[in-house]
Amino acid sequence: MSVIGFIGLGNMGLPMATNLLKANHALKVFDLNPVALETIGKLGATVSAHAIDASQDVDVVITMLPNGSIVESTYLGEHGILQQANREPIYIDCSTIAPESSKRIAEAANRHDLEVVDAPVSGGIMGAREGTLCFIVGGEAGTVGKINPILRAMGKTVIHAGGHGSGQLAKICNNLLAAVLMTGTAEALALGVRNGLSPRILSDVIRNSSGRNFMVERWNPWPGILPDVPSSHDYNGGFQVNLMLKDLGLALDCAQASQASVPLGALARNLFTLHGEADEDNPLSDISSIQKLYYPNPQQN
Name the residues that contact ligand NAD, by CB under 6 A: 7-13, 30-33, 36, 51, 64-66, 70, 74, 95-96, 121, 124-125, 238-239, 243, 247
State the minimum distance, in angstroms, from the CB of residue 178 to ligand NAD: 9
Rg of the chain over all Cα atoms, to the nearest angstrom: 20
CA pair distance 36, 23, nearest whole angstrom: 20
Our CB check for ligand NAD shows the closer of 178 and 193 to be 178
Angle between helices 166-194 and 199-207 (to 10 degrees): 130
State the minimum distance, in angstroms, from the CB of residue 161 to ligand NAD: 15
CA pair distance 102, 104, nearest whole angstrom: 5
Strands 60-63 and 133-138: unpaired
Q: Which residues are CB-neighbours of 179 under 8 A, at least 6 positions away?
A: 244, 247, 248, 265, 268, 269, 272, 287
Asked if residue 266 lies in contact with residue 280, where contact means CB atoms within 8 angstroms, the answer is no
Our CB check for ligand NAD shows the closer of 10 and 89 to be 10
Backbone angles phi, psi at 155, to 5 degrees: -155, 170
Our CB check for ligand NAD shows the closer of 51 and 216 to be 51
| Active site annotation includes 171 | yes
Backbone angles phi, psi at 66, to 5 degrees: -65, -45
Our CB check for ligand NAD shows the closer of 245 and 262 to be 245
Asked if residue 5 lies in contact with residue 89, where contact means CB atoms within 8 angstroms, the answer is yes
Backbone angles phi, psi at 27, to 5 degrees: -120, 135
Read out DSSP for 218-245? HS-SSTTSSTTSGGGGTT-SSSBHHHHH
Our CB check for ligand NAD shows the closer of 51 and 179 to be 51
Closest to 13 measured CA to CA, from 289, 1, 3, 27: 27
State the minimum distance, in angstroms, from the CB of residue 138 to ligand NAD: 15
State the minimum distance, in angstroms, from the CB of residue 117 to ligand NAD: 15
State the minimum distance, in angstroms, from the CB of residue 137 to ligand NAD: 14
In this structure, is the dihedral angle defined by the CA atoms of residues 51, 52, 57 and 62, taken in order, positive or negative? positive
Closest residue to ligand NAD: CB criterion: 10
Our CB check for ligand NAD shows the closer of 30 and 222 to be 30
State the minimum distance, in angstroms, from the CB of residue 35 to ligand NAD: 9
Active-site choice (28, 171, 246, 292): 171
Task: Point out the residues that are catalytic.
Answer: 171
